[in-house]
Structure 1
Amino acid sequence: MQEHELNERKWYLATKVLTSGLNADEQAEWEALKNDLAFQQEFTLVEKYWLKMDGLPYQQINAEKDWKLVWDTIRQQVPVREQRTAIPWLRYAAVFLVCMAISFFIGARFSGILSNSDNTAQLTTIEAPAGSKTYVTLPDSSHVWLNAKSKITFNKDFGAENRHLRLEGEAFFDVVKMKVPFRVETPLYTVAVLGTAFNIKAYSDDDRATTTLVRGLINIERTTKAGKTEVTPLKPNEKLIASRTSNRGAAFAGEYTFQVERGVDAAMETAWKDGWLSVQGESLNELAKKIERLYDIKINFQDEELQRYRYTGRLRQLSLEQVLKALSLTSPIEFTIAEKTVTLRENQSTKSKYNSLQVP
């Protein structure tokens, strides 16, 4: 693993230590890092300021301003003679700290229901831009992991009396059980729960939206063309799939069909939040969209036939080049990377080996 990827992995683990906690495998990695004295010194400093983040202006979020505040504070604690070597990873830590602290303390400050009234100016939006993911603790102590290019929006009164938010993109929710329903609104339907864990994927540039239940029970509510409310219950390891059947127009426009798939691998569906790139019978065209969001790039197909190849499996989210090399070992593709653009083309010498993998 290259040095910069190793350091990114260290700070990924550090962030989970400060927020959602480590699983067994990650805990073993963390224990091994205790021998890395330089990293431990940086982490100790970051942890110190993580616990003192109450002074940031979270109701009016300014990521650049907040980052500078955290970075300037950390820099003051590092002797000038050490800054040349410390700055790259302290900078990374500071950026990670601001993103996570903004998410956490927004959750600690607000409580209520989302509305379209005059309170619009008091809506809070938490966003994971392309190329990143964000973890959030909401005011009711529910946990949310936002995938790349996703965001949630809720009113300043979100909390004990009403729990209603909007989602654009993909998120995994681990909801604390309360008498008040937790409602997630998407452009196609609303997911209503009391206490459960589930994943919603509803990107505006996809032709389908999905909701997968990990545990508990959820109801998916949507309004039919006749104006009636239709409720679809889901049990663990079930997934609702909303597929567009008409030609694409505006985002979420056109006709959709709704079906429930049973016996799905919920762990694969939610593996992205733990640093995996997972696919289950998805075309390269669908996979390319995931890679674009994950690495904040644009993928062009020189040969459109490549879009038909399908993949199943999961891959650790390493560097972009490593992911593309892994794909080239399992399908007849070649690639070039020019700044933030990737071009995929067929590898004619290996094409005949993979014809069976194409969509019928």
Structure 2
Amino acid sequence: MNKIEISDTLLFKFFLGETTNDETDRIAAWLDANPEEHQKYMDEVHEKFIISIMTEPDSVPEADTNLWYRITHSRTIRQTVGIAASLLLVIGGCYLFFTSQLTQMVGNPTTIESPAGQHVRLTLHDGTTVELNSKSKISYPALFIGKERRVRLEGEAMFEVAHDASQPFIVETYACDVEVLGTHFNVIADKNTQEFSTALFEGSVAVRNKINDEEILMEPNTIVNLKNGHLHLSELESRDNYLWTDGIISFSGDNFEQIVDKLRRYFDVDIEIQRTRLPDVRYKRLKIRTSEGLDHILRILQRSSDFTYEYNDLENKIIIK
């Protein structure tokens, strides 16, 4: 019988659950040929594999107080590593069980939702940074395993994706999927209001419509909107609407109804308009820091619009008159 040679690269691929049936059979035959020696070697290679995916808490700078970064890069991975290490005591065909358990553990998603009136910044395992706008939610695995890096978004988020041509990054939403290799872009996906848009600042992305499979390849400084079930591409005239990552809310060019919608979404407050005619807004460009609070923003708007308001504390409602 010919001697079976197994490379470290193939074992790494096996630990990730990416080997073909033929490759898995080769590894099983290699283990059966010399269980004691090959088991020991496989354990050594697995230690290298674990080190390659593990980030210890001590490696995170003290200045980085991002709770989500520590959760993603410490607790989840270390739990996965502990389970994987205990399963390494078995040999031969039982490694298939280990691989499936490892894949399941790292595939279980972590979900983060940003509080009303705030935005949350997090760093994924691959180095991609995500900023979640108010009342937005993202789900992602502790480790990206397989041929793609997939996250699911509800709401609005700004992404700076770490480049990896061999593993495209996909933002899944209720309406469309946004696929990128490495870029800077913003996605809005609000199922309640049936709003979807993608604004691209750097790089290139492909937006695929789940309804009819139409696809648009975007270039920098363009925006795609979903209207009546179809994607529409246009030039991005201004980046004012994406200043929320800097704590700034922009109402440039918005009518009163659009302003109210933004305030509802950002501050998670019910706003009721008790008048037949909407107030005119005379501001052409208006940017306000959200840290000033909702009452301050409404008082600024009153300077250019004819309306009064009152706040119902029991119902958390603002009434526009």
Amino acid at match of 2:186: N
1:287 aligns with 2:287: no
Q: SS of the counterpart of 1:157?
A: coil
What is the distance in 1 between the residues matched to 2:211 and 2:268?
Answer: 36
Deviation string 1:330-358 (CA, Å, 9 cap, x unpaired) is 2222111222211112xxxxxxxxxxxxx
The answer for the alignment partner of 2:73 in structure 1 is 108
How has the CA–CA distance of structure 1 residues 201 and 108 changed in structure 2, closer, same or farther, with 3 Å as cutoff?
A: same
Deviation string 1:16-42 (CA, Å, 9 cap, x unpaired) is xxxxxxxxxxxxxxxxxxxxxxxxxxx
Query: Alpha-carbon deviation of 1:122?
Result: 2.4
The answer for the alignment partner of 2:289 in structure 1 is 316
Amino acid at match of 1:142: T
How has the CA–CA distance of structure 1 residues 219 and 178 changed in structure 2, closer, same or farther, with 3 Å as cutoff?
A: same
What is the distance in 2 between the residues matched to 1:256 and 1:284?
Answer: 26
The answer for the alignment partner of 2:172 in structure 1 is 185
Q: Is the 8 A contact 1:300 1:344 kept in 2?
A: yes
What is the distance in 2 between the residues matched to 1:121 and 1:215?
Answer: 29
Query: Could you say which structure has the larger radius of gyration?
Result: 2
List runs of 5+ in structure 1 lacking aligned partners.
1-52, 56-95, 112-116, 244-254, 346-360
Q: Which of 234, 239, 242 pairs up with 2:218?
A: 234
Deviation string 1:77-126 (CA, Å, 9 cap, x unpaired) is xxxxxxxxxxxxxxxxxxx95xx31x212442568xxxxx9779922101
How has the CA–CA distance of structure 1 residues 282 and 106 changed in structure 2, closer, same or farther, with 3 Å as cutoff?
A: farther
- Normalising to structure 2: TM-score of the pair? 0.64
Count of equivalent residues: 230
Q: Is the 8 A contact 1:218 1:234 kept in 2?
A: yes
Query: Alpha-carbon deviation of 1:222?
Result: 1.6
Q: Is the 8 A contact 1:282 1:310 kept in 2?
A: no
Amino acid at match of 2:319: T
What is the distance in 1 between the residues matched to 2:106 and 2:306?
Answer: 50
Deviation string 1:30-82 (CA, Å, 9 cap, x unpaired) is xxxxxxxxxxxxxxxxxxxxxxx949xxxxxxxxxxxxxxxxxxxxxxxxxxx
What is the distance in 1 between the residues matched to 2:200 and 2:217?
Answer: 10
What is the distance in 1 between the residues matched to 2:171 and 2:272?
Answer: 33
- Normalising to structure 1: TM-score of the pair? 0.58
Amino acid at match of 1:338: N
1:335 aligns with 2:319: no
What is the distance in 2 between the residues matched to 1:306 and 1:286?
Answer: 11
Q: SS of the counterpart of 2:174?
A: coil
What is the distance in 2 between the residues matched to 1:188 and 1:306?
Answer: 31
Deviation string 1:270-305 (CA, Å, 9 cap, x unpaired) is 201101111343332232232123223211111153
Q: SS of the counterpart of 2:192?
A: coil
Percent of pairs identical after alignment? Answer: 28
The answer for the alignment partner of 2:201 in structure 1 is 214
- How is 1:1-360 mapped onto 2 (pairs within 5 angstroms)? 54=57, 100-101=66-67, 103-109=68-74, 122-158=108-144, 162-179=148-165, 180-225=167-212, 229-243=213-227, 255-266=228-239, 268-306=240-278, 312-313=284-285, 314-317=287-290, 318-339=292-313, 340-345=316-321
What is the distance in 1 between the residues matched to 2:149 and 2:299?
Answer: 44
Amino acid at match of 2:312: A
Query: Alpha-carbon deviation of 1:256?
Result: 2.3
Amino acid at match of 2:293: S
What is the distance in 1 between the residues matched to 2:209 and 2:243?
Answer: 27
List runs of 5+ in structure 2 lacking aligned partners.
1-55, 59-63, 78-102
The answer for the alignment partner of 2:96 in structure 1 is none
Q: SS of the counterpart of 2:134?
A: coil
RMSD after superposition? 2.9
Q: SS of the counterpart of 1:205?
A: coil
What is the distance in 1 between the residues matched to 2:117 and 2:221?
Answer: 28
How has the CA–CA distance of structure 1 residues 131 and 218 changed in structure 2, closer, same or farther, with 3 Å as cutoff?
A: same
How has the CA–CA distance of structure 1 residues 310 and 173 changed in structure 2, closer, same or farther, with 3 Å as cutoff?
A: farther
Amino acid at match of 1:300: E
